[in-house]
A and B are shown apart, each in its own frame.
Chain A
């Protein structure tokens, strides 16, 4: 770099507490800010090479030096909270790195690494009386959910997100679930500038190096109701009182079309009384939901499902019957050139839901297996594959079910044929 004159380099070598080990070469450099060229102090520098990695941090003038480096090929990486490395495919990295070749007979050119200062969004979450709300979960999300960061407010209701890639962010706040809430009007997920409808959220635009302070908003309240009833086990090996070590898990899954609602599914921890199967979930927002209970047993887990529609009144006497369900056999068809171990797992997901719940998985590497204990209902079939591999089709009784999904009834299910793509992985 032009401003790193030989004179400066000498000063740098004598003033910095250079870490030393082994060889006699020195790798030195500077970290600057993209665009402005300003030095970035406090940047973590890590030298990767043949030996153990070494670390140092830049000084107040953004400079660093690592002494005692022996001959070889190295990579110098720079990383600092609040800063981003250059983007690859439009995605910014958390660090930036450069290769350095150390040859003891030749001087090493100083390394310049450039980081961009990410955007900052900061603000406060308040209660309707204007007081700060501590320990509130705050999220910033991009519309495609590629970027999602979470944080909590402090005792002054403040939150701060630094190092954001340029873009538009929706800011959402939610209070932790309070199992003892007795008031029906309670805090619900709220979007900046203070709405419970994500369609009315005003996104915040950040650019490199910009801070958008003052994103203050008030938590909104809404009617919430209680959903209660009973779980009934119609099972060969499990009954109430339930004494097994592994507890049943009850999920409340909202059919909430809000793409920003990352809390549409929540775990109703210990909602089920293991002595008699009674359950109560408080704080449920009106709307369509599905209750899904998973009960350890029968070699894996039994699943019970119940669709409910909560109005503005408490919903009582809901019964969820858990039956053994049926097994859905899966056969993997692996044409030449495909790899059967690429199948990570196969899931059945509750249909008509933007954020479905997996019902069962399966192990990789076997040609035939079963998804066990599937309760009657309609499902989408979803397959997770190893990177670079894909599924050509999923068929049942000779028909593709990739788009339409499958219907599971009381009768044994026709097997699923999972046909792998023979295209070679990249």
Chain B
């Protein structure tokens, strides 16, 4: 009897335990420097492991927010505010600031402080070559980003007003190029054989353009651009599209610099174009001299159904008679081969394909893992692709990528060229680890440094072999699941994300890398010198 009532008591206590155990959090969001409170900031409380719709609140006019009845656990608190950014780190400003917090129960966390940095603005006027303002001119702020080993300029667009005046605002602090073109619309741009793409202050190309460095809250005015008319060529040719249903497809054209080291302006090409879907004849106007890869992409509502590539050399004059054959997108089957009875739950793995060298597509499987460990990607256009794998297995690693029985592991890339492909991914359950320490100015905040494991040639292109981590407050770091081979370890105080995949970016840093050879033992040790913010 006594036991039963105790049991009932226990249930009652257990049922009430959740509300009794909860905590409350309050905080304030303010502008860095001036401490001005920021209202209307969106504060989200994200439980560890993530949530589809985490509870979110807005700050009031005093910049304050609060969460009540929060169950114990680990959380990330993220704060976003229109026009404001996190601190400049690794060459970029995130649009949010986050902070980790662990609640053990019945706590009252007061006055969490979040500081945000205001965006910058640039303004000026666009003139044509005669000094006449260009109404409605197209203006872009371009900032350098790294993606798939390539340097891109990512555009933030704006139109000038009827007086030719422009203002770009809420720009995250960083380094920019400002680019201007004539107003879109009208006759195909460049059909007069001239290009008017001009970079601040008056440059026809990026080599002679002047970058603009914007600090938080900076307001740069009178950044006027005088458009230059420079000779440009027309590329004429034909798309050979053997796909069925081609009348319901739209064909897009992209000109990529042939040399992957050339900084690529990713803003929409101002070059005018003409395409006749009946005959496949195309014309691309306003192309500046250079070596290009012309990519023709056939799209339908289902996605990219085919792609063709052809190199094009543009010298002084027009280029005629270019033929681009569009090859169909195909199915690619990726087979996971687990070595030695690995205890890996394949349902927890996430697989995708990333397009390399000629494009920026990322494809998810159309069909998940079947009982043979095969995932299927449909509509994979012809290109170079790298398989990517994510999962909660820090010790596991990919030891080989095989296409038609042949290893392509040096580059980690496989080619798709109009034929269905089957690629094997060999997975090892437990690879060696590297323990290390970052040596250098023992300043606070070393946790925000980035330690990057970079494969040595000839494996530099294999993105499966790269690893990135942050050291702890004492400078310790650890890489796990390292495939045997030669590596260098770099530790940057600040580095743009993925810049380490770019050979040109890496060249001045090579001497700072600490070589490490992984043969297959359990743990290797390493010490790495920190590369400072302004070091080269």
> Does B82 belong to the interface (CB within 8 Å)?
yes
Query: Taking CB as reference atom, which chain A residue is nearest B119?
Result: A155
Q: In the complex, A163→B161 CA distance in Å?
A: 11
What distance in Å separates the Cβ of B162 from its nearest Cβ neighbour in chain A?
3
Is there an interface contact between A41 and B132, defined as CB atoms closer than 8 Å? Answer: yes
A52 adjacent to chain B (CB < 8 Å) = yes
CB contacts (< 8 Å) of B136 on chain A: these are: 81
Q: How far is the CB of A11 from chain B (nearest CB, A)?
A: 15
A58 to B134, CA, bound (A): 10
1/0 contact trace for A93-112 toward B, CB 8 Å?
A: 00000000000000000000
Residues of A within 8 A of B133 (CB): 41-42
User: A55, B187: Cβ atoms under 8 Å?
Assistant: yes
A146 at the interface (CB under 8 A from B): no
Nearest CB of A to B79, in Å: 12
Cβ of A183 and Cβ of B58 under 8 Å apart?
A: yes
* Known pairs A129-B61, A134-B83; A155 contacts B170 (CB<8 A): yes
Given A180-B42, A180-B56, do A81 and B83 touch, yes or no (CB 8 Å)?
A: no
Q: When the two chains form their complex, are residues A182 and B57 in contact, meaning their CB atoms are under 8 A apart?
A: yes
Q: B161 contacts A81, CB within 8 Å?
A: yes
Given A155-B170, A163-B162, A178-B40, is A52 in contact with B132 using a C-beta cutoff of 8 Å?
no
Residue of chain A at shortest CB distance from B129: A17
Q: Contact check, A53 vs B131: say whether CB atoms are below 8 A apart.
A: no
Tell whether, in the assembled complex, residue A155 and residue B121 are in contact, meaning their CB atoms are under 8 Å apart.
yes
A328 close to chain B: CB less than 8 A: no
- Asked if A410 CB lies within 8 Å of chain B CBs, one says no
A19 close to chain B: CB less than 8 A: yes
Is there an interface contact between A60 and B131, defined as CB atoms closer than 8 Å? yes
Tell whether, in the assembled complex, residue B131 and residue A180 are in contact, meaning their CB atoms are under 8 Å apart. no
Interface SS of chain A: loop
Interface residues of A in 284-307 (CB under 8 A from B): none
A155 and B119 CA atoms in complex are apart in Å by 9
In the complex, the chain B residue whose C-beta lies closest to that of A176 is B82
Asked if A80 meets B58 with Cβ closer than 8 Å, knowing A154-B167, A178-B40, the reply is: no
B258 shortest CB reach to chain A, Å? 29
Which residues of the partner chain A approach B58 to less than 8 Å between Cβ atoms?
Answer: 178, 180-183
Q: Which residues of chain B come closer than 8 Å to A53, judged between CB atoms?
A: 187
Contacts of B164 on A, CB cut-off 8 Å? 42
Residues on the A chain within 8 Å of B135, using CB:
42, 80-82
A162 touching B56 in the complex, CB below 8 Å, given contacts A44-B183, A52-B191, A180-B42: no
* Interface of B, helix, strand, loop or mixed by DSSP: loop
CB-contacts of A165-190 with B (<8 A)? 178-183
Kindly state whether residue A54 has any CB partner on chain B within 8 Å.
yes
A160 within 8 A of B: yes
List, in ascending order, chain B residues with CB within 8 A of A44's CB: 183, 186
CB neighbours (8 Å) of A385 from chain B are none
Q: Would you call A331 an interface residue if the criterion is a C-beta within 8 Å of the partner chain's C-beta atoms?
A: no
A378 within 8 A of B: no
Q: How far is the CB of A134 from chain B (nearest CB, A)?
A: 6
* B169 surroundings in chain A (CB, below 8 A): 134, 154-156
- What's the least CB distance linking A422 to chain B, in Å? 37
A60 with B183: in contact, given A80-B162, A81-B136 (CB under 8 Å)? no
Which residues of B sit under 8 angstroms from A46, Cβ to Cβ?
186-187
Is A135's beta carbon under 8 Å from chain B? Answer: yes
Using Cβ atoms and an 8 Å threshold, which residues of chain B touch A41?
Answer: 132-133
For residue B21, CB closer than 8 A to chain A, the reply is no
Q: Are B186 and A60 in contact (CB under 8 A)?
A: no
Interface size on B, residues (CB 8 A): 32
B419 at the interface (CB under 8 A from A): no
**Does A351 touch B at the CB level, under 8 Å?**
no
Assembly CA distance A55 to B193 (angstroms): 12
Closest chain B residue to A20 by CB distance?
B192
- In the complex, which residue of chain B has the Cβ closest to the Cβ of A57? B128
Quote the shortest CB–CB distance from A60 to chain B (angstroms). 5
B134 adjacent to A42 (CB under 8 Å): yes
- Taking the complex as formed, is B130 at the interface, i.e. its CB lies under 8 A from any CB of chain A? yes
| Complex Cα spacing A6 to B410, Å | 73
Determine whether A314 belongs to the interface, using a CB cutoff of 8 Å to chain B: no
**Chain B: CB-nearest residue to A163:** B162
Judge whether A256 is part of the interface by a CB distance below 8 angstroms: no
Instruction: Give the CA-CA distance A60 to B130 in the complex, in Å.
Output: 8
Which B residues lie within 8 Å of A19 (CB)?
192
Q: Is A59 in contact with chain B by the CB < 8 A criterion?
A: yes
Within 8 A of A (CB), among B126-182: 128, 130-136, 161-164, 167, 169-170, 182
What CA separation (Å) do A2 and B40 show in the bound complex? 61
Asked if B60 CB lies within 8 Å of chain A CBs, one says yes
Q: In whole angstroms, what is the CA distance A183 to B186 when docked?
A: 47
Q: Could you give, for residues 122-164 of chain A, a 1 whenever the CB lies within 8 Å of some chain B CB and a 0 otherwise?
A: 0000000100001100000000000000000011100010110
Chain B residues with CB below 8 A from A160, complex form: 161
How far, in whole Å, are A162 and B164 apart by their CA atoms in the complex?
A: 12
Q: How far is B83's CA from A155's CA once the two chains are assembled, in angstroms?
A: 8
Residue of B nearest to A160 (CB): B161
The answer, among A54, A55, A178, A183, for a CB contact under 8 Å with B60, is A183
* Alpha-carbon separation in the docked complex, A59 to B40 (Å): 47
| B170 nearest CB neighbor, chain A only | A155
Complex CA distance for A156 and B165, rounded to whole angstroms: 15
Q: What is the CB-to-nearest-CB distance from A218 to chain B, in angstroms, rounded to a whole number?
A: 14
Shortest beta-carbon distance from B25 to chain A in Å = 14
What's the least CB distance linking B461 to chain A, in Å?
36
Q: Which residues of A contact B83 (CB under 8 A)?
A: 134-135, 155
0/1 interface trace, chain B 172-206, chain A, CB 8 Å (1 if under): 00000000001100110001100000000000000
Collect the chain B residues with CB atoms within 8 Å of residue A57's CB.
Answer: 128, 132, 134, 182
Question: With A and B bound together, what is the CA distance between A181 and B121 in angstroms?
Answer: 27
Check if A134 sits within 8 Å of B132, measured CB to CB. Answer: no
- Chain A residues engaging chain B, CB cutoff 8 angstroms: 19, 41-42, 44, 46, 52-55, 57-60, 79-83, 129, 134-135, 154-156, 160, 162-163, 178-183
A-B contact pairs, 9 of them (CB 8 A): A19-B192, A60-B130, A60-B132, A81-B136, A81-B161, A154-B167, A160-B161, A162-B161, A183-B60
Having A134-B82, A135-B82, A163-B162, one finds 4 other A-B pairs with CB under 8 Å, namely A52-B191, A59-B132, A82-B135, A134-B169
4 smallest beta-carbon distances between A and B, as pairs:
A82-B162, A155-B169, A55-B187, A81-B135
